[in-house]
Structure 1
Amino acid sequence: MSVLAPLAARYAHWLGLPAESTGDTTEEDPDRVVLMPVVLRIERGDPPTRTALLEAAASAALAVTLDDRAAPGGEWHEAVATWVSGRIRKVSRRARGAHWQAVQQLPGHTVELPTGSARALLPSRVADMPRELTRLQISGSEVPVDEPGPPEPGVPVLWLTPETTMTAGKAAAQVGHASMLLAALTEQDTGGATRLREWADRDFRCAVRQADHATWRRVSPGADPASAWRDRGVVAVRDAGFTEIAPGTVTVIAEWR
């Protein structure tokens, strides 16, 4: 089993929590909060497309958690396991030029697509984040919405909710959650290890698409997420509501096709 096992174990429970309890941080010390930073490359003169930026973020986040160094005994294991055992929070920051090059020296994975790049970094406490990261802005990560066309065959589709609007930075964190949940549940299935290896061979490629209301209804797991996963291969991301949107909002539904 990979470091993602605890995530699979609590998936259905998390979806069943009352909305007001998903974002409860009463006992938290802000400096001890553990986050995975996701850095989005947004160059001023050559901006990315929104779809590619989100697809790169989803693949990069999963690449960090399934890296051999995150396995038991690896140099990343403690950091990743500590993070996955709690809330899998992510924070997106934007970078360009020299700042983008600087974060390449921090532990993590970069995914570069023809029209968008992102780097997911090793999770750490907020208080421990390096200067190369904290100097990057969180706001200002918006890029124009594009029309990517049909998803390519053989990769999972991460459907963005049509029921609320998210900035590119927020959506990048959400699709990162989705790819991780998809891998965590896949790993539990018969033959799941083989499927994950095949996905890894494709660099964890994902297709991110904006769902219309009909598609959202079709893929929704409803009241029985375990059956929805078993019968239809869908898994939902339910946000804790720390930023932008209300607690309990389903933001992304991932679907194996």
Structure 2
Amino acid sequence: MQLVLLRDRIHPARQVDACEAAARAVVFLLDDPRTQPGGPWHDAVQQWSDKRIRKIVRRASGKRWDDVQALDGVTVSQDPPADAAPRTGPAMVRAFVPAPVRPQPKPIDKLQVSGTNLPTDGLSATSDAVVTIEVNPRIEMTTGKACAQCGHAAQLAHEAMTTGNDDDRRALEEWRRDGFRVRVVTPTLEHWDADGARVRVIDAGFTEFDGPTATTRAQW
């Protein structure tokens, strides 16, 4: 699954807002009617979900951002909090229907993958979210990597709720009504080590990490 993050050099978004927008975009795509059985996206999403749920985050600005909106996918925009630093802009992420890594449509293929970083100042402004995503406090990630890992956690939460018990399914309905908002936090070491999450993401270590690494987890 390709994710494209809007990069505005004049009004950059905060990293935490981008991570939350990425998580929401992934779940919106998975929950979309076009992804359900009989829908035009179903087979592509199903084939991808049955294998390794790889996500690649790219960045775009200006016309290149406008160009990718024509490709099949879902865009989520998340405004910064009122007390954000001056000139902080909204976070915008588009998730695309999964496809082989090569070839990619030209509007996506020309976009930069590595080295995407946004300002890390400020905590999540989201409150009362159904799902909380926790980021491993012992590691560092680029914004692009963090967005992908938060997307993984949100996807696993959605899958667990879909196939879970009655309480899980009720939580999914509440999450859906709430626009799939998530709260992304970096917990204390003590909280992380207590490990009370419902789903966990272990990155394979192909990029940024030397081997399998626990990156994010989700609870609801």
TM-score, with structure 1 as normaliser: 0.78
3-state SS, counterpart of residue 166 of structure 2: coil
In the alignment, which residue of structure 2 is the partner of 1:227?
none
- 1:28-177 matched pairs, under 5 angstroms: 36-114=1-79, 115-148=90-123, 151-177=126-152
Structure with the higher helix share, 1 or 2: 1
* Alpha-carbon distance between aligned partners in 2 of 1:192 and 1:149, rounded to the nearest angstrom: 24
Q: Is this contact kept in 1: 2:153–2:201, CA < 8 A? A: yes
Q: Is this contact kept in 1: 2:124–2:183, CA < 8 A? A: no
Say how many residue pairs are matched.
209
* Alpha-carbon distance between aligned partners in 1 of 2:120 and 2:188, rounded to the nearest angstrom: 15
3-state SS, counterpart of residue 127 of structure 1: coil
3-state SS, counterpart of residue 137 of structure 1: coil
In the alignment, which residue of structure 2 is the partner of 1:18?
none
Shift of 1:38: 0.6
In the alignment, which residue of structure 1 is the partner of 2:192?
216
Cα deviations across residues 178-227 of structure 1 (Å, max 9, x unaligned)?
Answer: 00111111122224333212211222111111222122123x15xxxxxx
3-state SS, counterpart of residue 207 of structure 1: strand
Pick which of 105-114 and 187-196 moved more.
187-196
Unpaired segments ≥5 residues, structure 1: 1-35, 222-232
In the alignment, which residue of structure 1 is the partner of 2:210?
246
Give the letter for the 2:123 counterpart. P
Shift of 1:242: 1.2
Q: Is this contact kept in 2: 1:160–1:209, CA < 8 A? A: yes
* Alpha-carbon distance between aligned partners in 2 of 1:195 and 1:109, rounded to the nearest angstrom: 22
3-state SS, counterpart of residue 126 of structure 1: coil
* Alpha-carbon distance between aligned partners in 1 of 2:152 and 2:16, rounded to the nearest angstrom: 16
Give the letter for the 1:131 counterpart. K
Unpaired segments ≥5 residues, structure 2: 80-89
Are 2:178 and 1:198 aligned?
no
Q: Note closer, same or farther for the CA distance 1:165–1:157 as it changes in structure 2 (3 Å cut).
A: same
In the alignment, which residue of structure 1 is the partner of 2:85?
none
Q: Is this contact kept in 1: 2:2–2:57, CA < 8 A? A: yes
Shift of 1:143: 1.1
* Alpha-carbon distance between aligned partners in 1 of 2:124 and 2:69, rounded to the nearest angstrom: 31
Q: Note closer, same or farther for the CA distance 1:68–1:198 as it changes in structure 2 (3 Å cut).
A: same
* Alpha-carbon distance between aligned partners in 2 of 1:80 and 1:149, rounded to the nearest angstrom: 30
